[in-house]
Chains A and B, each alone.
Chain A
Amino acid sequence: MGRTSQPVAKSHRTVGAAAKKYGALTVTFFGTYWVLFIAIPLVALLLNVRFHVGKFFDPSILSLVKVTAAQASWSTALSGVVGLFLGVACSRQRRLQLLLALPFAISSTVVAYTVMAWFGRKGFLPSFFGIQLPWLFSMKAVVLAHVLLNAPWIGFLVAGAMGEVPRREMEAARTLGAKPAQVGLHIVWSHIVEAWASGLVQVFALCVMSFAIVLILGGGPPNETLEVSIYTHIRYGALDLGGAVASALWQLVLTLTPWLLLLFYWNRTGVRQLRRELAPLSLNVSRKFHFWDWIAAGAVALFFIPYLWIFIQTESSKSFTEFLFGENTWAEWVPSFQVSLKLALSSAVITVAVALSGVVSGILFPRLEKWSAVLLSFPGGVSTLVLALGFWLAYSRWVDPFEGSWLAIAILQATVFLPIALRIFRPIASAVQFHRIDAARSLGASPLRAIRWTEFYRWKGPVFAAFGMAAGVSLGELAAVSFFYSEKLIPLPLLMSRWLNRYRFDDARGISILLFLTATALVALSTYSGLKPRERRFA
C-alpha cells in the first residue's frame, strides 16, 4: 500500500501551551548541543587560524585542495549517474532498496580492500577473466571505490523520492497524450531532481573527506586529500596545528560551498521544495518481481556481492568459527565488541535524540523549521577529524585526546550522522496530523497521550531506522575513535589495527567479518523496519 498522507497545511497547526512548553525544552536541548559540540569547536578552530594565515596559502596545501576537489568531483559525477539509474530501477521493490542501503554501513577500509580483492594482481577478475586494472593504485582506483560505496546511497535516496511522484499527475499527462519521455522529464524528474541533487552534495562532501580509501588505493602522494593532510599534521611526529587548521579550513570551504549553494537555492524556491527534497524513505512497492525488477536486482547485486569476498578469502589459515571461539581470540575480541556496541548504541541514542529535538522544534515552532533543517544539515560538510580537532582545541582543558572518552567519541560520531537522521525524520515531520492530535486532546487525552495515540506509530519505524543506521555506521568508524580512545576503550577497528601490526592477519580478518556482519545486520533490520508502510487505519 502506498503512502497516501499529504502534508497538512500550516494553517492547521494548532500548538497548545503544553506543546509549547515541551517545544521550549527541545529547542533548548537542540540549541545547546549545537552550540557546544558544533559551533564552539569550529569557532575554536577559526580563532586558531589567525595565527597561521600564511599556512592557508601554503603551495603544498593548495595543491592538495586541487587534487581533493578533482577527485571528489569525478567521484560524485559518476556516483550520481549510476545512482540515478539504480534509484529509478529499484523504486518498485522494497527489498532492492534494502540492498541499496546496506553498503552505507560498510567501512571504507573494507571497500578499498574489496576493490583490491577483485581487481588486484591476484584478484578474482584477473585470475578468472584476465581483467586487470593497470591503474589500481591511483586516483582512478579511488574514484572507482567511491562510486562502489556512494552510488547505492544516491540510488537509495532517488528510490525514496520516486515514491513521492504523484500517480494521478502521471496518468493525467498520459491521458492528455504525453509520451513516456515527456512524463519522465516533466513529472518524474521534477520530483526527484532535488533529492538527487542533495544526494550529490552529500556524496561530494563524503568524497572530499575520504581517508582510508585514498590512503589504501591512492598509491601515495600526490594522490591524497586534505583529510590525510589533517591527519599527518596532528597525529604523527610533531604537532603542527597551523598546517592542520589550514587543511581543515580548506576542507570546510570545499564541503560547505555546495551545501550553501543548495540552501540558497532552497531559500529562493521556498520551503515546499526543501520539504520535498528531503524525500521520504517509503514508496509505492510491489510484491511481485517483474522482468525489469530482476534486471534492477542484478544491477544492485553488482554493488553488494563484491563485499562477500571477505568470506571466501583463500590465503587465510583460520576459519571464522575458529576466530570466534578460539581460546586466544575469544578473550580479546569479546571485550572490544562490547566497547564497540556501547559506542554504537551511545552514538545512535545521541543521534536520534538530537535529530528528533531539532525536527520537533521545527514542527512546534514553524519559524524555526528552516533553521533546524539548516543546522542539522550543517555537519554533513564537516569531517570528523576537523570536528575532533576543534573539539580538542575548545575543550582541551577537560578532554584529553589520549586519555580516552567514550562520550567524546559518541558525540563526534553522532554529530556527523545528524544530516542522515534529518533525512529520515523530515518527511514524517512534514506530515504531522495535527487535526488528529487536536481530536484526541478534545476527547480528554493529555498532550503526551494524544501524541502517543496519533503520531507514535508513524515515528516508530523512522526512529528505529535512524537508530540502526547510526549504530551500524558507528561500528566501523575510526576517525573519532582514533582521537579519543584509550587502553580501556579499544573498539574492534582498533583491535584489528593492533593485530595487523603483530602479523595476526587471520584474526584481523575475523574482526572485519564480524564488523561487516554486525553493521549490515543492524542497517538491514532498521531499514526494513523504516521502509514498512506507516499508515494506520482508524475506525
Chain B
Amino acid sequence: MLQKCLKAKALLRALSFSALIFSSAAIAAPRTLTVYTYDSFLGKDGLASYVSAEFEKTCACKIEWISVGDAGQLVTRLEMDKARKVPSAHVIVGIDQNLWEKLRSQAQQWDGWNPKNYEKIPAELRVGGKGEGFLPFDYGIYTFLANQKDLAAQKLTPPKSLKDLTKPEYRKTFVLEDPRTSTPGLAFLHYSWAVVGEKDAPDYWKKLSKNWLALSPSWDQAYGLFSRSEAALVWTYQSSLAYEKEKGRGNQCLVVKFKEGHPIQVEGAAMLASRLGNDAESLRLAKQFLEFLLTPTVQKEVPKRNWMMPVVKGTPLPGSFQGLPPLKILKSGSLSLYPGPRWEELLSQWRRAIEQ
C-alpha cells in the first residue's frame, strides 16, 4: 500500500515537473530587440511596421520600436540614457552621416562581421571605415525642387549654382529649413560651408538670410509652403519629384541641378555597444536585424514607405522613382560627407553671421 502510494507520488512529481517545463516553455517570452528611431519612420504606413512584420516571421523575436522624436533627437536620447544610467536600445535606426560623428564612439564595432549584401552598396554611400558600425540602408539626394509655373510667373529660370540664390532676382523665392531643428537644414549648412569655403561662408549666409522667404523649422513646413505656392523653390530631396509625379504634378516641377554638385543623406543603422557588449545572443539578433535591412524584401519597400532611394544596387524602383534626373553627387571624405568644423561650431558661426 505504502509502495503504491510512493509510486503515485513519484508519478505525480514527474508529471508536475514536466508540466512545469512545458508551461515555462510555452510562456517564455520571445527575445526582444529594442530599436530607437525617429518619429516618421514609425506609423502604419512607415518602413518600421513593415520591417517588424517581416523580420518577426523569421527571428522568433519581437521588435520594440521606440520613437525619440526627430532624427536629431537620437543623440539627445543616448546622452540622457547615459546620464540617467539606464540601458539604451540594442540598435539605432535613422542616423545619418552627420549624426554618425557624434554616435560612432557608442556604436558596436563589427569585428570582422561582413553583412550580406553590404558589398552591393556603392562606395560613395558607405559611411566610415568598414567595420566601424554604420550600416547604410537608404539615401536621398538633396536639391531644390522648383515650381516651373511660379518661376515663369516671376520671369525666372532655375538657379544654376548656390551663389545664384543670393542674387536679387531670387529674393523671397525660396524656402530653407532651420539647421538647428531639421536634418535637411543642417545638410544645407554643411553643404554651403563646403562649397563656398570657410572664409566666405559667413558672408554668404548673411546674404542668403536677406533672400530667403522663410527658414522653416521642419522639412514638412517648408514643403507645405512650396505646395501652397508661397515659395517657388524648396530645399528638399530629389525623391520629392516622385511624389509630385504621383500627384500628377510631375510636369510642373523640376529638380534644380547645381554645378557644384549635390549633397546626399545616407540613412543608416548601428548597434549600440553599451547594450550589446556582454550579450552574445542579442548581438547575434542585432546583426541578423541589420542584415535584414539590406535584403530585397526591405530594400524594395524603401522608396514607397520612406520616400528615399534603396542603397543596394539593382533594387527595382516603383514607376514614379524611375526616370528621376541624375544629379552630380558631391564627393566627400570617408567619415563625414562634409568634413569641417563640428556642427555646434558651424551653427554658432551661422548664427553670428545672420544676426550681423
Contact = CB atoms under 8 A, between A and B. Distances in A.
Interface of A: 60, 63, 116, 120-122, 136-137, 215-216, 219-222, 231-232, 234-239, 315, 317, 328, 331-332, 396-397, 400-402, 482, 485-487, 494-495, 497-505
B75 A237 contact: yes
B224 A500 contact: yes
Given A219-B214, A315-B228, A502-B40, A487 B76 contact: no
B76 A239 contact: yes
Interface stretch (B24-32, B66-74, B309-317): B66-74
A235 B45 contact: no
Given A60-B351, A219-B215, A331-B44, A237 B39 contact: no
Interface stretch (B4-12, B78-86, B118-126): B78-86
9 shortest interchain CB distances as A-B pairs = A220-B215, A501-B40, A500-B220, A137-B214, A215-B217, A236-B72, A232-B180, A122-B229, A219-B214
A331 B44 CA distance: 9
A502 B67 CA distance: 16
A254 B213 CA distance: 30
B111 interface: no
B77 A402 contact: yes
Nearest to B71: A236
Contacts of B65: 487
A331 B43 CA distance: 11
A120, A216, A502 — which one has the most chain B CB atoms within 10 A of its CB? Answer: A502
Contacts of B307: 502-503
B230 A116 contact: yes
B259 to A, nearest CB: 26
B344 A502 contact: no
Given A237-B75, A500-B220, A315 B69 contact: no
A361 to B, nearest CB: 36
Contacts of A500: 220-221, 224
B219 interface: yes
Contacts of B227: 315, 505
A402 B180 CA distance: 20
B79 A317 contact: no
A222 B354 contact: yes
Contact of A317 (B209, B247, B343): B247
B44, B77, B79, B220 — which one has the most chain A CB atoms within 10 A of its CB? Answer: B220
A487 B65 CA distance: 8
Contact of B40 (A216, A328, A498): A498
B27 to A, nearest CB: 23
B32 to A, nearest CB: 14
B213 A219 contact: yes
B80 A239 contact: yes
B67 A486 contact: yes
A234 B76 contact: yes
A187 to B, nearest CB: 48
Given A315-B228, A328-B45, A396-B84, 7 more contacts: A219-B213, A219-B215, A221-B178, A235-B70, A236-B180, A237-B343, A238-B102
Interface in B137-182: 176, 178, 180-181
B18 to A, nearest CB: 38
Given A221-B351, A501-B220, A503-B307, A236 B214 contact: no
A221 B355 contact: yes
B46 interface: yes
B42 interface: yes
Interface string B238-273: 001001000100000000000000000000000000
A496 B92 CA distance: 24
Contacts of B355: 60, 63, 221-222
B43 A332 contact: yes
Interface of B: 39-40, 42-46, 65-70, 72-73, 75-77, 79-80, 84, 86, 102, 176, 178, 180-181, 209, 212-221, 223-225, 227-230, 240, 243, 247, 307, 343-344, 351, 354-355
Contacts of A237: 72, 75-76, 180, 343-344
B211 to A, nearest CB: 11
Contacts of A238: 75-76, 79, 102, 344
A531 B129 CA distance: 69
A483 to B, nearest CB: 9
Contacts of A332: 43-44
B9 to A, nearest CB: 48
A400 B220 contact: no
A519 to B, nearest CB: 21
Given A116-B228, A315-B228, A497 B181 contact: no
Given A116-B230, A238-B79, A501 B214 contact: no
B69 A235 contact: yes
A495 B40 CA distance: 9
Contacts of B344: 237-238
Nearest to A496: B220
A242 B343 CA distance: 18
Contact of B84 (A63, A121, A328, A397): A397
A136, A331, A500 — which one has the most chain B CB atoms within 10 A of its CB? Answer: A500
A189 to B, nearest CB: 42
B39 A497 contact: yes
A232 B348 CA distance: 13
15 contacts: A116-B225, A122-B230, A221-B355, A232-B181, A235-B69, A235-B73, A235-B76, A238-B344, A332-B43, A485-B67, A494-B39, A498-B40, A501-B219, A501-B220, A503-B223
B72, B216, B228, B247 — which one has the most chain A CB atoms within 10 A of its CB? Answer: B228
Given A236-B76, A238-B79, A502 B43 contact: yes
Contacts of A221: 178, 209, 215, 351, 354-355
Given A235-B69, A400-B84, A498 B39 contact: yes
B131 to A, nearest CB: 26
A494 B39 CA distance: 9
A60, A485, A487 — which one has the most chain B CB atoms within 10 A of its CB? Answer: A487
A216 B215 contact: no
A231 B180 CA distance: 10
B77 to A, nearest CB: 6
B123 to A, nearest CB: 28
Contacts of A222: 354-355
A121, A122, A216, A222 — which one has the most chain B CB atoms within 10 A of its CB? Answer: A121
A221 B348 CA distance: 12
Nearest to A63: B355
A102 B297 CA distance: 50
A288 B247 CA distance: 51
Nearest to B355: A222
A133 to B, nearest CB: 12
A121 B230 contact: yes
A122 B215 CA distance: 19
A502 B214 contact: no
A148 to B, nearest CB: 18
A278 to B, nearest CB: 36
A121 B354 contact: no
A397 B84 CA distance: 7
Contacts of B216: 215-216, 220
B222 to A, nearest CB: 10
A331, A396, A402 — which one has the most chain B CB atoms within 10 A of its CB? Answer: A402
A234 B108 CA distance: 26
